[in-house]
Amino acid sequence: MRISGIEYLSKEDIEARSRTLLSQFNPKCFQALQNIPMRKLCDYLTGAFGLSFNLKAALGYTADRSKILGTYCPVNKRVSIDMSIAWHEDRLNFTLAHEIGHWALHSKVKILNCSSNNFTDTEYGLTADRKKINTDADRMEWQANHFAACLLMPAGVVKEVLLKVLQKTSSLAKDGRIYLDELQYSVSDFKNIIKSLSDFFSVSPQAMEYRLNELDLII
């Protein structure tokens, strides 16, 4: 896929844009220890910016038979999420936040040699890692993924919730960060910490661990 118009954004740039959106939605997001209510955020985006959402779409497959989990259509500002993940809150939330990231970051992007300018996301795109950026398409998917992580797990809230969780798991705690070694009890404690945090933020354990690493909270 060839694209044009993508900005070269740093992690800090993307974090700042997610904070701006959350501040517009509800400044108290950064003050209260609570997860981001994605349905209410969708309602806000509909009212404030004209986005529309279909959270139980039948999106089908790509030409190479990869399951399509989410799409964003810039022409009518419509986000669609496949019905296969409608009842999996963690996957629904991240895919939804990823598509919102395309709207927030890629409004000027053009997909070349394609009959439509829709953003189509499969499992591969939703796990794009910054270490694997080889093309502009890879960069675009990483940006949307990082935006999703910042949106669902604001840095300040993550640090405060982690501190509370660590108070109950002193074997790994120091200065509000996780110090992990290879001892079995530490691994077990670590899994419990990740589960507590991922349940709180309504994300997958993998997304939660990624965010903690991004924030240098795992040593």
Domain locations in the chain as residue ranges: 2-152, 156-214
User: What is the distance between the alpha carbons of residues 108 and 7, in angstroms, rounded to a whole number?
Assistant: 9
Q: Three-state DSSP class for 5? A: coil
Q: Give residue-wise pLDDT tens across range 116-172.
A: 556 777 765 556 565 577 788 888 889 999 999 999 999 999 999 998 888 876 566
User: What is the distance between the alpha carbons of residues 106 and 199, in angstroms, rounded to a whole number?
Assistant: 30
Check: pTM over 0.95? Answer yes or no. Answer: no
Residue 77 one-letter amino acid? K
The token pair at 74 is: 């810039």
Q: What share of the chain is helix, strand, coil (3-state, %, to 5)?
A: 55, 15, 30
Domain 2-152 -> CATH class:
mainly alpha
Q: Give residue-wise pLDDT tens across range 69-116.
A: 999 988 889 999 999 998 999 999 999 999 999 999 998 877 655 545
- Diameter of the chain by CA atoms? 56
